[in-house]
Structure 1
Amino acid sequence: MLLTTKFLRPTPDPRSVKRERLSTLLESGSPTRLNLVVSPAGFGKTTLLAQWCSQYPSASAWLSLDEHDNSPRRFWEYVIGAFEYAGMIGLEDCRKLLTKDSEDAVTAAITGLINALSTGDTEWNLVVDDFHFIHDSAILRQFAYFIDYLPPGITMTVASRTEPPLPLARWRVRRWIKDIHPGLMAFSETECLAFFRDTMGLDIAESDAEAIFRKTEGWVAAMQLAALSGGNSGSKPGTTSKINLDERYISDYVLTEVLDQQPEELRRFLLDTACCPRLCSSLCDAILEADGSQLRLEQLLAQNLFLIPLDTQNEWFRYHDLFREALLLRIRHREPERADALWHRTVNWLLTHGHLQEAIGQVVKHQAWSWLATILAEHGNNLIHGGYHLPVLEWLDTLPPELVGDRPQLQMLRIWGLFFANRVTALEPLLTSLEDLLDRRVADSHPDAEGALGLHSEISLIRSYLARTKDDDKSATDLTLQVLKDIDHTQIPLKSVTYYGVGLDKYGKGDLTGAEETLSSAVRYGQLEHKPSTVLTSGGLLAWIQYNRGDIDSALDTSTNVRKWVDDHYSDPSQPRLISCWQNSALTEIYRERNAPDLAATHLAPLLEHVEQGTEAGQHVIIQYVRGHLAFSERRYSEAISVLQDAAQVGRRRREAILFEPPASSALLARCFLAMDQVDEAQSCLDSEDRNRLKNPLHGEQILISESRVAVSRGEADRAIEILQSLRPLAQNNAHNRHLVEILLIYGEALHLKGQIEETQTALADAIFHARQAGFIRLMADESQIVKSLLANHPALTESSGDWEQSVLTMLQEEQEEVRYSSRPSARSPSQALAEPLSQREQEVLSLINDGHSNKEIASRMNVAPATVKAHIRNLYGKLGAGRRTEALARARQLGLFTS
């Protein structure tokens, strides 16, 4: 049961100051997705938003949060409830999904909400008040995903006492955010006078209000102090005489009227901790070399001495920037040596306690280059393997060249950074230069000669990956095995990355069992070595292999466990979520196969951004492959062909830059053409594949399986049977269970073509048996109409009451019903079957929707405004009698409005 009072918007107090200039800033408009109002308690956030909503022209919903809402399911129940309370319809399925006990169900509910917002015609605004109560990392990640995929015309307005740890920097670059920070919340001169007279009830003279405004620059905290001071002097005009305001800057005001009025111990605490960009009791105790800082911080907070909490547990704080700058100015001017010592203690504490980026930021700001070089040499490797390779490269570039040129560790760090940034073509000259430097150190008996020898293992590991791009498998394997042999004699944590390389080699040779074992070791060592990127990548490839072996449950468990470990140990909601191409691709395939396309699309979505922005060639091919596979399963053949052709072209053109052999896109591309009855095009795709370069047996099997499909389509049953009989023992012996099921299904169709009914039933029974063992579902429905018809009537399915069998039967029956409906003869043309025919523009929009384009993409392609596209879609839905995209497309297919 939801509390409906949390959906009630507060009624503005008529005495409150009208903030028209801020209300204007909050007005929605492309490309804004988030209004962010951040300020401490008492800055008037709720009042401002209530005033704004009362005059907001579009539909608005309100949600007030409290400390009980810091749970993903409860949070999203209230978000959906707020929209429903405000009048939005069609969210029943989203609410039902939230009754399921899984994180994926929550993700699916969020995706459903996004889809519902995108299909509606209403421009919604949702205000979420008191967002500072939300600190659960899962909610923050989900909320970031929600903002990332909000459709045009939908705005979120968030009010919080602290800036939420969301990817705000990325959103600001994209101009998605309108910020109202404490500086903007500061009162204007007019508002200042209204505040004293109307809100505070003080009969203050305009001249005094002007003086306070000039001095405080509308800073609410300082204004409150002035109001309290004036209130103690009576109620006559000119009651601020106790505040000796002149034309000095606000820092002078802080120092004289605040700092100097504090007891000596508190004043000393303020000055000594001003060097800290953020404060916590442990940090303050360390730099002060004393105990009791938590009590001091709570005292400052209670006295409203310009201390801003950064969480709701009162653990982390920061001083108001103006206040901190004033304190720093005082201590650096009067006690420069002490200020420098305190700063050094602060940076050392940040380094010791794992706040590496914040520490490095402080060192870079002070241009302490020698110290930065030392920090990067010691901590850079962990940062790179934690997904921060790009910042490390930037920091290396800021160092004077002489500091890097004489430090092998920093040169190796640059090589690893470039490697993880997929800039492998730049590595060869850097490796050669580093090897020369190391050889000189060993020859000259340099004090660090032992460390130089240890770096040779890292060089060998990098060279093994480069050998893979050149199809030099022997060198890659030899170098990797040599690293494994030497690794225990070095102090460098390389086991996880090395085992990943070995697993990649075994996967490339088709040794799936060996690859599984090795990649499990890579995950385990990655966790021990604290390398989240290696854990995600190794776990992702492991899940991909388990999926291909037909062990979908294990694949899903692997992905879930690896994701949980990374989120538990390395989650930072203020940074983009660390993802793995292998893992998200495996999850896309898993949920596609389980006939859950919405969940599959959820895991695919983060990968598409990498394709658009540019990514490593091998990853590009994999992403486009799984994207094409999902489109194929949803019968979006035009889109599937487009992305699979791109994958095949990139795979051929960029082969030398790919560290592994990606899936055979041409095999899946051939299936798309076969589904469209373009048999010659399908054969042409297979003929264009250089089969001699396919070293992974899985990929060779893909090509031959598609070859057998073409043979069946041409009525060449004997040719298909010959191919499949040679493939079957190989797939069976190598545990390529997904391919085995496909082989048996096509084999059954070829036998059916020859009229061998009994043998057909036996082959299909074997296929059903292996598919049930693996949990495959969608695989059955992706076959030809003949196979689906045979399966739908097969005793192994129809005479069983098992859940899996019933799921497959239901899916096959739905497919057959759709085919029967779409092929039903009619005397009328498709447009005549409608009460009102579609216009040419509406037909164009329908075609683009069928190709999978968003409203924004359709507007761009048609060169019209998004609002125009929404109008066309609204008319389409009305004519087709549909309420959402999927219904409209299904109805259009039934009417034969398009053929694909």
Structure 2
Amino acid sequence: MLLTTKFLRPTADPRSVQRERLCALLQPESVKRLNLVVAPAGFGKTTLVSQWCSQSPSTVAWLSLDEHDDDPRRFWQYVVGAFEHNGLLGLEECRLQLSHCSLQELEGPITALINVLAADGAPWTLVIDDYHFIRDPQLQRQVSYFIDYLPPDILVTLASRTEPALPLSRWRVRRWVEDIHPGLLAFSEEECQRFFHDTMGLEISEQEVRRICSKTEGWVAAMQLSALSGGSIDERKPDEGGKQRIDLDERRISDYVLTEVLEQQPAPVREFLLDTACCPRLCASLCDAVRGTTNSQVLLEQLLRENLFLIPLDTRNEWFRYHDLFRDALLQRARQFKAEDTEKHWQRAVNWLLTHGHVQEGISQIVRHEDWHWLAQVLAEHGNNLIHGGFHLPVLNWLDSLPANVLQESPQLQMLRVWALFFANRVDLLDPLLGDLEDMLDKRVADSHPDAEGALGLQSEISLIRSYLARSKSDDKSASDLTQQVLRDIDHTRIPLKSVTYYGVGLDYYGKGDLAAAEDALKSAVRYGELERKPSTVLSSGGLLAWIQYNRGDIDEALDTCTRVRQWVDQHHSDPRQPMLISCWQNSALIEIYRERNEFQLATSYLAPLLDHVNNGTEPGQHVVIQYVRGHLAFSEGRYREATEALEDAASVARRRREHILFEPPACSAMLARCYLATGHLELAGEWLDQVSHDRFTNPLNREQNQISIARVQVALGHPEAAMATLVPLRLSAEHDQHYRHLVEIQLVYSEALYAEGKIKEAEQMLAQAVQRASEAGFMRLLAEESPTIRRLCLELPTLKAPGRWNSRVLSMLTEQAETKIPDSASPKETEEEAPTESGNTDLPEPLSQRELEVLDLINRGLANKDIASTMGVAPTTVKAHIRNLYGKLAVGSRTEALARARELRLLA
């Protein structure tokens, strides 16, 4: 049961200062999605937000959190409850999903909540107070997903004592965030007057208020100290040594810190502040290491109690930071009077960061200090793990900051650069770098260099990189030979390469279609990746493993693999401030699994982050796989035009960028042929059949997929005997290689060919075998997506009418499919309406797509969303997504603004 008092907005204290200028900043804007009010306790966050809500025209859903709400399921139940409490309808299914789904499947009900808000169409404001209680990394990622895909007119406001671990930098670049931080919360002179007189009840003169406001610049913490001292501040001149070479405003704050705070502290506190000013963040262990003491926790708690500009970074009083201006003032004083000690303290702080898992933070400090020799040592020690943990781009930046001679004299750093470029998909730069590095290593071995053994170890890394490059050029033999060579040498090197090597072996076996051997290699890659702490390799290896398990027909095992790997990666790559590691293979496998189980919302939730990669540019192999699963999902949902667009794009990229793809991607054109058949365009299917006969596939899975589509078209064109001739050898090879998903499809199409030949009994026997195998593997959509003939024959099967959950779900899907007309009967090859000639579409940073232009035209005709959906033959949620995209591209927030902007750009007549 939910505590409904948590949904009640607090009543503002009538004595509190009205913050009109801040309330104006909190108002909704065209692209804004998040108000972020972050300040320590007592800064008036809740009061400010409550004041603003009382003026807001939007419906407000308020949620106050406590320490018990740091649980994903409980948190989302309360969020849904807040919306329901304030009148949002249609959330029953969402609540039901939250009660029954696993923690790993919460993306489904979150997506359902987003869809309900989109369907509602009304402006809403969600306020979450005391968000600092949320620490769970998985929950932070879910909140990030929720905000990423909010529909227009929905605004989230978070009030927190600490900055939440969300992708704020990315959102700020998109202008989604309005930050209300302590600097903005600083009081104006008028607000200072009201604060001292009305709130604090102090009788001080206006002149004194102005003096305090000027000296503190309205900084609330300083004002509180002033008020507690009796409403006056003694005039003191700062020491000559305390003057700052910074701008006037910062100097005033620094002077206040040094004269009114630091110099009035007891000697132990003053020494602690100066000794720890070098630390970007503070915890007791770090401070003890810097100072060589054991009492830092006591002093930190004392600073916190006395509000000495110490900002908590968590709610457990473990991590803190000083206010930036306060720390700057302390550092300046420390460097002036304790320069040698300050340098020693800084070195101790960096060493502590490096040895306690805060490597990136330590490196950032070294770079700022421009200690290039130390940076080279640290990168040589930690760079490989950083790259394989997903931080290849920062490593590239750090390597670029090194002097050229330092980089040129170190083979290890050059190898590190090669790996970073490889993970950044900049493979075109690698050949010359590898050649230069091999020359250097050969020379070192020939000259008996002291590090000759290390040179031999690097040769294994070079061979491994060259094996991946060979795959990108379809030189499978060289790739396999190089990888096997690395496996022979790997136990004699000091470099942890087993996980990456076994991933390469898995790719080789997958390319050959030896799925059993690929599974064994990928399981080894996952195991060694966990031992070597390489999250990106674990995720990629586990993702491809799940993809293979799915295609073999082991759906439950594939889902277990995805869940276990994701849990391990989240545990060892858990900083929510960093981008969430995403594996194209794993998300694609999950999309296929949930699509096959008819759970389209969950499938869509795993597709959404992949589409960001497509839109922002990703390597061509991933692009093809993503567009393939996107097209397959659209096909399953009956959105054939959208499926065709995605699959045509995938096929085009696969052809044009083949030399840059490390593996043979799925047979996208085979799925295109199914779209032609589903929409009744046999002439297009015939054209495809004429063209596809020249295609060649090295991966047996893709070859089988292509041949099955050929047989489907042959049956549809009235050539069942040709279809059977195509399928007979295919059936034997699929069964031998344990390609069970394809085997079911082969049996289904073969039964239709037999039926077309009049061999009814044989057709029924073959169909029964296919349905039995599909039942054992858990395939469902596979049956519902077959031809009308197969679906009708399946409905007549006695075995499907027997009791059982799988039987009932499949029967329901088959019945629903039989009653549904083709929703997208227009030819997939029809050209969309041309954009107006000489329009300003190309002047936009991101031009509108043809689909978005079509939506814009229908909006211009005055059609409502549901009418647009009906006209285009798509779901209403798809229309809303198109509208949200074109709003973003046009930088507008409403239909009226969109039409006005479109006319300016001559996109409309």
Report the TM-score, using the length of structure 2 for normalisation: 0.91
Q: 1:686: Cα distance to partner?
A: 4.3
Q: In the alignment, is the contact (CA less than 8 A) between 2:513 and 2:701 conserved in 1?
A: yes
| Range with bigger deviation, 725-734 or 845-854 | 845-854
Q: Distance in 2 between matches of 1:849 and 1:220?
A: 57
Counterpart of 1:144, as a letter, is S
2:122 corresponds to: 122
Shift of 1:449: 1.5
1:859 and 1:449 map into 2 onto residues whose CA distance is 59
- Is the 1:26–1:178 Cα contact (8 Å) retained in structure 2? yes
Contact 2:651 2:669 in 1 (8 A): yes
* 1:801 equivalent among 797, 803, 806: 803
Name the counterpart of 1:21: 21
Of the three residues 206, 216, 232, the one matched with 1:240 is 232
Instruction: Report the alpha carbon displacement of residue 861 of structure 1 after superposing the two structures with TM.
Output: 6.2
Change (3 A) 1:674 1:449: same
SS at match of 1:249: helix
Any conservation in 1 of the 2:540–2:586 contact (CA below 8 Å)? yes
Q: Is 1:326–2:329 an aligned residue pair? A: yes
Instruction: Give the aligned partner of residue 850 of structure 1.
Output: 874
The 1:625–1:495 alpha-carbon spacing in structure 2 relative to 1, beyond 3 Å, is same
Amino acid at match of 2:700: P
The 5-angstrom pairing of residues 857-872 of structure 1 reads: 857-858=882-883, 867-868=894-895
Deviation at 1:859, TM superposition (A): 6.8
Tell me the CA shift for residue 372 of structure 1: 1.4
| Counterpart code for 1:81 | G
Secondary structure of 2:152's counterpart equals coil
> Structure 1 residue 108 and structure 2 residue 108: aligned?
yes
> Do 2:673 and 2:709's aligned partners in 1 also have CA atoms closer than 8 Å?
yes
Q: Does 1:260 align with 2:284?
A: no
Cα distance in 2 for partners of 1:820, 1:656 equals 38
Match of 1:747 in 2: 750
CA contact (8 A) 1:97 1:105 kept: no
Instruction: Please state whether the residue corresponding to 2:793 is helix, strand or coil.
Output: helix
Aligned to 2:361: 358
Amino acid at match of 2:508: D
Q: Which residue of 2 aligns with 1:172?
A: 172
SS of the equivalent of 2:820 reads: helix
Cα offset, 1:855, TM superposition:
2.7
Determine whether 1:481 maps to 2:505: no
- Give, as a single letter, the amino acid of the residue that structure 2 aligns with 1:816: A
Structure 2 contact 638–822 (Cα < 8 Å) conserved? no
User: 1:803 Cα deviation (Å)?
Assistant: 1.2
1:685 offset after TM fit, Å? 2.9
| Contact preservation (8 Å) 1:604, 1:627 | yes
C-alpha deviation, 1:684, in angstroms = 2.8
Task: Tell me which moved more, 714-723 or 545-554.
Answer: 714-723
Q: Does 1:817 align with 2:809?
A: no
Q: Secondary structure at the match of 1:661?
A: coil
Give, in whole Å, the separation in 1 of the partners of 2:810 and 2:146.
Answer: 32
How far is the alpha carbon of 1:154 from its aligned partner? 0.6
Aligned to 1:508: 511
Query: Aligned pair 1:531/2:516, yes or no?
Result: no
1:88 is matched with: 88
Contact 2:29 2:893 in 1 (8 A): no
| Distance in 2, Cα, partners of 1:822 & 1:566 | 41
Is this contact kept in 2: 1:278–1:318, CA < 8 A? yes
Q: Contact 2:824 / 2:874 at 8 angstroms: preserved in 1?
A: no
Superposition map of 1:614-633 within 5 A: 614-633=617-636
> 2:12 corresponds to which residue?
12
User: Distance in 1 between the 2:879 and 2:573 partners?
Assistant: 33
Alignment of 1:94-493 (within 5 A): 94-230=94-230, 239-240=231-232, 242=234, 244=236, 249-493=252-496
Gaps of 5+ in 2: 239-247, 826-859, 900-909
> Aligned letter for 2:462?
I
The CA distance in 1 between the partners of 2:234 and 2:621, in whole Å, is: 71
Report the Cα distance in structure 1 between the residues aligned to 2:896 and 2:398, rounded to whole angstroms: 46
Shift of 1:818: 2.8
Displacement of 1:682:
2.0
Cα displacement string for residues 20-68 of structure 1 (whole angstroms, at most 9, x for unaligned residues): 1100010111211000000000000000001000001111111100001
Query: Retained in 2: the 8 A contact 1:686–1:707?
Result: yes
Cα pair distance change 1:870/1:513, threshold 3 Å = farther
Q: Are 1:855 and 1:870, in contact at CA under 8 Å, matched by a contact in 2? A: no
Cα 1:820/1:343, change in 2 over 3 Å: closer
Query: Using the alignment, how far apart are the partners of 1:276 and 1:755 within structure 2?
Result: 82
Alignment of 1:736-815 (within 5 A): 736-798=739-801, 800-815=802-817
How far apart, CA to CA, are the structure 2 residues paired with 1:870 and 1:563?
42
3-state SS, counterpart of residue 321 of structure 2: strand
- Provide the alpha-carbon RMSD of the alignment: 2.0
Q: Which has the higher mean CA deviation after the structures are superposed, 842-851 or 734-743?
A: 842-851
Q: Tell me the CA shift for residue 286 of structure 1.
A: 0.8
Task: Note closer, same or farther for the CA distance 1:356–1:270 as it changes in structure 2 (3 Å cut).
Answer: same
TM-score by length of 1: 0.92
Q: CA, structure 1 residues 816+104, in 2 after alignment: closer, same or farther (shift >3 Å)?
A: farther
Shift of 1:105: 4.0
- Structure 2 residue aligned with 1:710, among 713, 724, 727? 713
Q: Distance in 2 between matches of 1:265 and 1:215?
A: 27
SS at match of 1:127: strand
Check 1:438–1:689 CA distance in 2 against 1; reply closer, same or farther (3 A cut). farther
- 1:312-353 CA distances to partner (integer Å, 9 max, x unpaired)? 111101111111111111110111111111001111100001
Alignment partner of 1:655 is 2:658:
yes
Output the CA distance in 1 between the equivalents of 2:798 and 2:444.
75
CA contact 1:845–1:858 (8 Å) conserved in 2: no
1: CA distance, partners of 2:822 / 2:525: 51
Shift of 1:869: 8.7
Instruction: Identify the range of structure 1 (391-400 vs 847-856) with the bigger mean alpha-carbon deviation.
Output: 847-856
Query: Which is worse superposed, 145-154 or 370-379?
Result: 370-379
Q: Which residue identity lines up with residue 240 of structure 1 in the other structure?
A: S
CA separation in 2, counterparts of 1:330 and 1:738?
71
Q: Which residue of 1 aligns with 2:47?
A: 47
How many residue pairs are counted as aligned between the two chains? 849
Residue by residue over 1:802-861, the C-alpha shift from the partner in whole angstroms, topping out at 9 and shown as x without a partner, is 1111111111112223349999xxxxxxxxxxxxxx977455454457177453633776
Match in the other structure for 2:612:
609
Seen in structure 2, the aligned counterparts of structure 1 residues 689 and 417 have a Cα distance that, compared at 3 Å, is: farther
The change in CA–CA distance for 1:819 and 1:848 in structure 2 (over 3 A counts) is closer
Partner SS for 1:60: strand
Q: Which amino acid aligns with 1:74?
A: R
Structure 1 residues 536-562: Cα deviation after superposition (integer angstroms, max 9, x where no partner): 000000000000000000000000000
Report 1:584-603 matches (<5 A).
Answer: 584-603=587-606
- Answer whether contact 1:121 1:870 (CA < 8 A) is retained: no
Asked whether the equivalents of residues 226 and 233 of structure 2 are also in contact (C-alpha less than 8 Å), the reply is no
Deviation for aligned residue 1:174: 0.9
Greater CA drift, 859-868 or 404-413: 859-868
Cα pair distance change 1:765/1:256, threshold 3 Å: same
CA–CA separation in structure 2 for the residues paired with 1:203 and 1:27: 35
Distance 2:815 2:337 in 1: 83
Give the CA deviation at 1:442.
1.4
2:842 aligned partner: none
5+ residue gaps, structure 1, are 231-238, 824-837, 873-900
Verify the 8 A CA contact 2:283 2:297 in the aligned structure 1.
yes
CA offset at residue 367 of structure 1?
A: 1.6
For 2:704, the equivalent position in structure 1 comes to 701
Question: Bigger CA drift: 131-140 or 244-253?
Answer: 244-253
Letter in 2 for 1:289: G
Q: Is the 8 A contact 1:667 1:686 kept in 2?
A: no
Q: Residue 848 of structure 2 corresponds to which residue in structure 1?
A: none
8 Å contact from structure 1 (residues 709, 720) kept in 2: yes
